[in-house]
Structure formats: C-alpha cells, structure tokens
C-alpha cells in the first residue's frame, strides 16, 4: 500500500506533465426526461479536457454547469445543489469577466436531440488538493433551457434534465 501511494505521489509531484488521468461517466436522466449520454474527463499535466455526448435532449440550446454536490439522487436533480462557485463570483460566461468555476456554457442539441461539447481548461483538476479547482465530488447538470449568462445566480437555465456524479 505504501509503495502505491509513493508511486502516485512521485507521478503527481515529479512527472505531472507525463501523467494522464481518465474518468468516464454516464448521464442520468432527470425531471421525467429520457436524457442519456456520456462524459469523459482527461487530465494531462495541469489541463483537464471534457468530452460530453448527450442524446435524447429536446432540440435546441441547453445550459451545462458544474454543481456543488456530486449527488444525482433527486428525481429533479436538485440534490446536486447550486452552481459550483468556490471563488464567490457572480454567474457569467466562462473566461469573460466574472463567472462561477462551474459556468461551462451551452450545448446545442440537433433536430435528433444529440449534442456534443468539448471543453478544455487549466482551471480544473481531477482530485488535486486545491478546492477551488478540484471537480471530484461535484456534478454536471444539463438544463432544459439555455444559459443567458446574466441572470443571477443561475443564468435562467430552467429545470435539470441530466446529471452526472463526478467521482
């Protein structure tokens, strides 16, 4: 056990640029929808990439946010709590003035209800000690409506139609 911890520490501390962590998740449908799909997170060095593929959405624009709790147990997704906002900023558009660390943006579902969003940042990490960056223990929520990037604190994004627990 000590050897495994030591090798993980060495990888993290010394060879972080060459280390890669991959985590894959399934989207849980919420609020009576049939939303399905997957999300994959890959951390390579200090950069985290997210590749989200959603199906059976209502065609159109849907907000997507990281929420503060990694809990998708409620039928309406409310158990995920509010937007993840460890730096106490106003809601907004990612990298444009003030924004929550969970303010990812919008994804667009085509006429068949399929959407894909690829997102990359050095402002997140998978399991690091920095609580302002660590997304493990949080959730991803797909909302019924688009994010207007103005309304506080949620962007007027509507109900929760999909949820992913990031473990």
pLDDT, one tens digit per residue, over 39-91 is: 999 999 999 999 999 999 999 999 999 999 999 999 999 999 999 999 999 99
The C-alpha atoms of residue 14 and residue 89 are separated, in whole angstroms, by 33
* Residue 83 DSSP code: B
Half-sphere exposure of 124 (CA within 13 A, CB side): 26
Digit-coded pLDDT (tens) for 111-141 = 999 999 999 999 999 999 999 999 999 999 9
- Scan for tokens 């103005």, then name that residue: 150
Q: How far apart are CA 148 and CA 1, in angstroms?
A: 49
Q: Per CATH, which fold does 19-165 belong to?
A: Immunoglobulin-like (2.60.40)
């Amino acid at each position: 056990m000590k050897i495994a911890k030591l090798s993980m520490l060495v990888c993290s501390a010394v060879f972080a640029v060459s280390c890669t962590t991959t985590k894959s998740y399934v989207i849980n449908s919420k609020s009576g929808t049939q939303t399905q799909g997957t999300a994959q997170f890959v951390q390579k060095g200090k950069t985290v990439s997210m590749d989200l593929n959603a199906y059976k959405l209502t065609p159109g624009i849907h907000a997507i946010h990281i929420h503060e709790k990694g809990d998708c147990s409620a039928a309406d997704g409310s158990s995920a709590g509010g937007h993840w906002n460890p730096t106490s900023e106003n809601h907004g558009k990612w990298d444009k003035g003030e924004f929550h660390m969970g303010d990812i943006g919008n994804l667009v579902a085509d006429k068949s209800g399929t959407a894909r969003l690829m997102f990359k940042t050095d402002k997140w990490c998978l399991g690091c000690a920095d609580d302002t960056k660590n997304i493990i223990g949080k959730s991803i929520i797909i909302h019924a409506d688009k994010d207007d990037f103005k309304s506080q604190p949620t962007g007027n994004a509507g109900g929760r139609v999909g949820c992913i627990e990031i473990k």
